[in-house]
Amino acid sequence: MNVTTLILDATEKLRERCGDRARYEARLLLGLAIGKQEPVYPHLFVQIEKEQIDRYYRLINERIDGKPISRIRGWKEFWSLPFKLNHATLDPRPESELLVEKAIWYARSKLLAKNEKLHLLDLGTGSGCLLLSCLHELKYAYGVGVDINKHAIQQAKENAVLLQLNERSKFFTSNWFEGIRNSRFEIILCNPPYISREDEIYLPDEVLLFDPVHALFSDKNGLADYEKIFFDLSPYLTSDGIFLLEIGYEQLEHVLEMVPNADLRVCDVFRDLRGIPRCLILCRANNKVL
C-alpha cells in the first residue's frame, strides 16, 4: 500500500472520532508508526515496512478508542516546550497557558524591579508544565512544584531535567501546603481539580478514560479544593506577591465569594479564547501597589 492510500484509509477510519482533524491525525500517526514525531505528507518519499503498517493500524485503533495523540506519543507541547506525560499527569490544556503568560507579564512588569530572584510555587504541578514554562522564561527565578501524587512528581522532575531547569526547580509530594515549610513566594500558580462529580457524564472519552481522576474532580460542586487552598494560602504569599488561579466554566462568581475571607483581593480576571473567565489574579488585601 502506498502512503496516500494508507492515509486516506486511516482518515476515513478516524473521521467519527476526530472530525475535521482526521486527516491531520492520520498523517501524524503514520509519522509515529515509522518512528518520527512529524506528520507524513504523501509527496515525501517514505519507505514503509509491513510491521510499520501493522503498528500504524494499532495506533489508529487506539485513537478510535479515544486515546489522545499526546497519550499515544507520551508527550504534549505546552508553551512551545515538550512535556512528557505519564498515567498520573494531566494532559496540559492550551487554556492553562494563560496562567503562564500572565505570571511572566506580572513578573517582568511589576515584580522584577524589586526582587532580583523570584520564587515561584506551583500547587498541583502535574507534569510541571506551569512552573517549568515560567522558569524557562524567567531566567533568574526559582521554583517549587508540589503534587499529592508521587508519580506526577516523578514526571515533573524528569521534565525539569529534560528542559535543563532542574537546578532552579524542586518538586515534592505534598497535600497542598502541608509539606511546604517556612517559605514565601512572590508568585503562586495553581490549576487545581475543579470538575464537579455531577459533570462526569459530559466529559469526552479522551478526558474520562485517559486523564487521572485526582487531576479532574473536586467535591462540593468542583469547589472543595479552591476552599482548602484559599484557607491556607495567605502566609505563603509575600506582601507584594500574586496568586494566579485557574477556574472552570461558571465558577468565577463562587470563587470570588471566597476571596475576602482569605485576606486577598482580586487584581484581574482574564478570559480564555472561548471567552470563559479562566485566570484569576489575586494579591494580598493590603497590597497598595497592584
Ligand X SMILES: C[S@@+](CC[C@H](N)C(=O)[O-])C[C@H]1O[C@@H](n2cnc3c(N)ncnc32)[C@H](O)[C@@H]1O
Footprint of ligand X (CB under 6 A): 90, 92, 96, 124-126, 129-130, 146-149, 152, 175-176, 191-193, 214-215
Q: Which is nearer to ligand X, 88 or 283 (CB)?
A: 88
Residue 125: count other Cβ atoms within 10 Å of its Cβ: 32
> Could you give the CA distance from residue 256 to residue 156 in angstroms, rounded to a whole number?
30
> Could you give the CA distance from residue 129 to residue 91 in angstroms, rounded to a whole number?
10
Q: Which is nearer to ligand X, 214 or 265 (CB)?
A: 214
Q: Which is nearer to ligand X, 29 or 120 (CB)?
A: 120
Q: Which is nearer to ligand X, 30 or 180 (CB)?
A: 180
Q: Which is nearer to ligand X, 40 or 242 (CB)?
A: 242
Provide, rounded to whole angstroms, the least separation between the CB of residue 149 and ligand X. 4
The one-letter code for the residue type at 102 is: K
Contact 249, 83 (CB under 8 A): no
Provide, rounded to whole angstroms, the least separation between the CB of residue 83 and ligand X. 8
The candidate with the shortest Cα–Cα distance to 194, out of 145, 148, 254, is: 254
Residues ≥6 apart with Cβ < 8 Å to 288: none
Return the residue nearest ligand X (CB atom): 124
Provide, rounded to whole angstroms, the least separation between the CB of residue 207 and ligand X. 11
Q: Phi-psi bin for 164: left (phi > 0), alpha (psi -120 to 50), beta? A: left
Provide, rounded to whole angstroms, the least separation between the CB of residue 272 and ligand X. 13
Provide, rounded to whole angstroms, the least separation between the CB of residue 224 and ligand X. 10
Q: Which is nearer to ligand X, 228 or 265 (CB)?
A: 228
Provide, rounded to whole angstroms, the least separation between the CB of residue 176 and ligand X. 4
Helix (H, G, I), strand (E, B) or coil at 135: helix
Instruction: Write out the E strands in 164-288.
Output: 169-173, 185-190, 237-246, 264-271, 277-284
